[in-house]
Structure 1
Amino acid sequence: MGIDRNRLSPAFVLVAALFWGLAGGIGGVLMTDGWAPFVVSFYRGAIGLLFFLAWLAVSPRGSGLASGRLWLLSAIAGLGITGNFAFYFISIRESSVAVAATLMYCAPVFVYLASFALRLERPTATKWAAIALVMLGVGLLTRVYETGPDAVTLIGAVAGLLAGLSYAVFIFGLKYAAPHGSPQAILAIAFAVLAIILILPSDIEQTSAALSAPSWPLFAALGVLGAGFSFTLYIFGLKRIAPAVASIMAMVEPVTASLFGVVLLDESLTGGQILGIALILATVTALSVSSSARKPSSEVATF
């Protein structure tokens, strides 16, 4: 009796989002131990790259590696995922796992604003109201109305939003590269760009020391769960699942990250911050579901 992959697809997406949430917590633990954000980001991406190169070696057909457009668009996706990883961990260091993960979840808002500017999406009162609600949620989450020691720093807030913006660039790059090659080829190029870029600002001494440090199992878990395994599962899941469903399941990531920070890193959230998280998650998910519902079914299989 064969396995029904259609039934497994939602589980793939759910597990991928769960692993991304755990990756934020693992990164927070590593930075608490003194590891720099760029070093943590580099190992998350570099270990993921090994997965995608192995996937490409096992399944090279239809890679599209002879296409210059594939390389260009995949490199753009690589710039996006580089910024996403780096800004995310900087935001965690400067604020908390919960704040950083939720701010990054604002990525669809940046996609809408870019689509408005490029006339790819028609602005409506409902969309502007949703964006305003997200901005209100960001204000509550980052506690911009406070100046005390417990307030989120400007660097933490800006880095979290830049992580979301970078993720939007990554998604755009994946979407437009998809017709020109295989997922494994696109991800291999994108993560190779990440590894090359992030090795430059990384502390070389720390980067070398990580290979033999007691924290190495955490680095390995971060790369395997937070990049290689999760992105592979996500790609397989999206082939047989509606984007609207994937959008709802993606809420697992910030929720998991927030719980990790509160339970294992002793982070705390005020009532206002919890309200801000709820506003952002609910509104962004509604925006994503609404947008996905209007797309033709032929787009379901794209990234």
Structure 2
Amino acid sequence: MSGHRLAADSLVTALAPAVWGSTYLVTTEFLPPDRPLLAATARALPAGLILVALGRALPRGTWWWRALALGVLNIGAFFYFLFLAAYNLPGGVAALVGSVQPMFVLVLSVLLLKDRIRAVHVAACALGAAGVGLLVLQPNAGLNALGVAGGLLAAASMASGIVLTKRWGRPEGVGLLTFTGWQLAVGGLVLTPVTLLGEGLPDAVTGRNLAGFVYLGGVGALLAYAVWFRGVERLPALAVSFLGFISPLAATALGYLVLDQTLTPLQIVGAAAVLAAVFVAQPRPPRPPRRPPTSSTDASAATDTDASASAASTAPERAESRP
């Protein structure tokens, strides 16, 4: 794959976490308050059912349990643990805990994809985590064991989903949107009873709320996850995982642009570190093998040899021409 193709795939895939970075803004400004699980269910289930209906294809054979596993890991369990962390930790701490996801992907890629751990990948993991910490961590942040466990489980769930999606691929003859719909539908169905038991439904839903739900389901789920799974197919698992760092970066940028939040110098340094980590982790096309250079000495030796051979071949002719 050429360098231009890799760069284009990375940029397209980065659109998904950039859209997910807007979830905090849409949730706080458009959705009913204190309903994170409802937001997650409304984000996944309608989009998944629409895509399945449009695709008119259901899993077959082993893909029933594979679609179930991927839907739980990438959507259902990931959302639940993510909101468990968000409920029990400040947003900055939750994002920092979640930044260990590339480390999980690194280990799982070795076990399941037979990839190698390289020093540059370990350095990128550390750089990315440090950048997220500077970007979102506040001085008064506190820790909570349940919240930390939720953040780690969310990172492990998404990391497992990325690696297994890379390992299993996509069933032959099934389009990307249908494959995305399977996972969103499974995730939404898993979240539905948890939402009804844990939060219930709001007493009233306004037009502003509906606009927020439509955005999360249409742009935040249907389009964003289709782009994300396309990237998982085309890029290395670790490179895709690092693109997830774009999400807290986008959330911070939107807070600055839309909510009039300020940026400290440390946050700017953190943003630069995040971008550097993402850049370092992206794949590079293999370099073509170099041809061994031909030295002037070798060239002159070859010329002398050819000259000697030519002289030797013409010597008998000269001898025969003498009287």
| TM-score, structure 1 normalization | 0.69
Residue 180 of structure 1: SS of its match in structure 2?
coil
State how 1:170-185 maps to structure 2 within 5 Å: 170-181=161-172, 182=174, 183-185=176-178
Select 2:78's aligned residue among 71, 84, 99.
84
Query: 1:199 matched to which residue of 2?
Result: 192
Contact 2:93 2:141 in 1 (8 A): no
Deviation at 1:78, TM superposition (A): 1.1
**Cα distance in structure 1, aligned partners of 2:127 and 2:11:** 30
Identity %: 24
What does 1:266-281 correspond to in 2, within 5 Å? Answer: 270-281=264-275
Name the residue aligned to 2:141: 151
Contact 1:28 1:92 in 2 (8 A): no
Contact 1:102 1:254 in 2 (8 A): no
Kept in 2, the 8 Å contact 1:95–1:157? The answer is no
Deviations 1:234-292 (A, max 9, x none): 456777x76699788766533222222344456566544543444344224422x14x6
What TM-score, normalized by structure 2, do the two folds share?
0.66
Unaligned runs of 5+ in 2: 1-5, 287-323
Q: Which runs of 5+ in 1 are unaligned?
A: 1-5, 295-303
Residue of 112, 121, 125 corresponding to 2:115: 121
1:21 corresponds to: 21
Give, as a single letter, the amino acid of the residue that structure 1 aligns with 2:141: A
What is the aligned residue count?
275
- Contact 1:107–1:167 (CA under 8 A) maintained in structure 2: yes
Counterpart of 2:114 in 1: which secondary structure? coil
Q: Which of 194, 204, 208 matches 2:201?
A: 208
CA drift at 1:34? 2.0
1:106–1:161: 8 Å Cα contact kept in structure 2? yes
Q: How big is the alpha-carbon RMSD for the aligned residues of Structure 1 and Structure 2? A: 4.1
Partner of 1:299: none
1:11-160 aligned at under 5 Å gives the runs 13=13, 15-29=15-29, 33-57=32-56, 60=57, 65-68=59-62, 70-80=63-73, 81-93=75-87, 94-96=89-91, 100=94, 104=98, 106-116=100-110, 120-137=114-131, 140=134, 143=137, 150-154=140-144, 159-160=150-151
Inter-CA distance 16–86: structure 2 relative to 1 (3 Å threshold): same
Question: Deviations along 1:158-205, whole A, 9 cap, x unmatched?
Answer: 544443332212212322342434234432332222122211221459
Alpha-carbon separation, structure 2, partners of 1:90 and 1:285 = 30
Tell me, in whole angstroms, the C-alpha distance in 2 between the residues paired with 1:169 and 1:204.
27
Corresponding residue SS for 1:120? coil
For the 8 Å contact 1:44–1:222, the answer to whether it is kept is yes
